[in-house]
Structure 1
Amino acid sequence: MSIVEKIEGNIKVAVITVSDTRTKETDKGGRLVIEYLKEMNTTVDEENHFIVADDKEEITKAMERLLDKDIDAIITTGGTGIARRDVTIEAVRPLFDKEIEGFGEIFRMLSFTEDIGSRSILSRAAAGTSGRTVIFTLPGSTGAVKLAMERLVVPELNHCVHELNK
């Protein structure tokens, strides 16, 4: 991992994996997100790392529980594609006060040029803010997680949290 920036202060992050099949033992994407976050000196409490079924209501409930806590950032993995069960975006987007359109646009561009080529059009990765919390919704594959964390989330997380709290 090539972490460029350490976090200033104690940023609290929650990680949600959206999947009908993953367990904490098989959740490679969620664990990878946490590995990057640990290198950045953020705090991810075990109670704020969990797996939620590919179900719009379950995802929304999990997000709302976290938004009621003192969490600076929420990162989700999984459920961002176009399959019938992929409903993470539909669950999360209504919670945004402001959408960060550039995140999804740049993620798809990077995915196209550096990872999966034209299959990147199927990605619906998104980001936004809710109150003082920044939310990143990432695809579930480890390649997508690595790309998003290294190229977008890690370089901008500190700045996003700072902007939401000034």
Structure 2
Amino acid sequence: MLSDHRKKSAGRVTCKVITVSDTRTVETDKSGKKIIELLKENEHEVKSYEIAADEKLLIQRAVQSGIQDPEIDAILLNGGTGFSKRDVTIESVTPLLEKELIGFGEIFRYLSYAEDIGSAAILSRAVAGTVKETVIFAMPGSTGAVKLAMNKLILLEIGHIVMEINKQ
């Protein structure tokens, strides 16, 4: 049974997908393709897709271009969330957020622990929040992490979040 907030949620959300990677290409980006596939299966629109290198400025430019596009409701990033020196997605996205959805990272790690990778979930970094009328999700780049985040969290709430941030 759907809760009232889900019944009233925005139906179709227009999205930008960003894969953060120094090595992936459009041809080899399985996780970006999985995000696009899941969005389309759930009747959302993917207006833009790009691969950004693991560079703070390049990641922020890619996110800012989505924020500045009035047609983009949501930006979904994958990759660059680990602990290597090159992994700077979280550090790039977090300063841009006006309001952080703290529960996204918390619940993502819990689900990762319980359903996917066990204690290695302590290494999972994920963040979500809003900037103006745009919601942003940053998740790890493994296909398993993408499926988990999309199916258990993002696809269930993206319409509701978009509706909430567009209220007058």
User: What is the aligned partner in structure 2 of residue 11 from structure 1?
Assistant: 13
Whole-Å separation in 2 of the counterparts to 1:9 and 1:158: 6
The one-letter code of the counterpart of 1:90 is E
User: Is 1:95 aligned to residue 92 of structure 2?
Assistant: no
Contact 2:13 2:158 (C-alpha < 8 Å) held by counterparts: no
Query: Which whole-Å CA distance do the structure 1 matches of 2:86 and 2:124 have between them?
Result: 14
1:102-121 aligned at under 5 Å gives the runs: 102-121=103-122
Q: Deviations over 1:25-70 (max 9, x none)?
A: 100000000011001111112xx10000001111011111111102
Offset at 1:137?
0.2
CA distance in 2, matches of 1:9, 1:146: 21
Q: Please name the residue that 1:80 is paired with.
A: 81
Q: Distance in 1 between matches of 2:150 and 2:85?
A: 26
Distance (Å, rounded) in 1 between the aligned partners of 2:110 and 2:161: 21
Q: Deviation above 3 Å: which 4+ runs of structure 1?
A: 5-10
2:136 match: 135
Whole-Å separation in 2 of the counterparts to 1:9 and 1:106: 24
The residue correspondences of 1:26-105 to structure 2 (distance < 5 A) are: 26-45=28-47, 48-70=48-70, 71-105=72-106
Gaps of 5+ in 2: 1-5
Q: Aligned pairs, how many? A: 160
C-alpha separation in 1, matches of 2:49 and 2:44: 13
Residues in 1 aligned to 2:86 and 2:109: alpha-carbon distance in whole angstroms: 21
Equivalent AA in structure 1 for residue 83 of structure 2: I
Quote the Cα distance in structure 2 between the aligned partners of 1:123 and 1:91. 16
- The answer on whether the counterparts of 2:100 and 2:129 sit within 8 Å (CA) in structure 1 is yes
**Alpha-carbon distance between aligned partners in 2 of 1:68 and 1:135, rounded to the nearest angstrom:** 13
Alignment RMSD, CA only? Answer: 1.4
Per-residue Cα deviation, 1:7-42 (whole angstroms, up to 9, x for no partner): 744321000000000001100000000011001111
Q: Residue deviations 1:60-93, cap 9 Å, x none?
A: 1111111110210000000111111100001100
SS in structure 1 opposite 2:45? coil
Q: Secondary structure at the match of 2:46?
A: coil
Distance 2:64 2:42 in 1: 25
Distance 2:98 2:125 in 1: 18
In the superposition, the TM-score normalised over structure 2's length comes to 0.92
Query: Does structure 1 retain, via aligned residues, the 8 Å contact 2:10–2:162?
Result: no
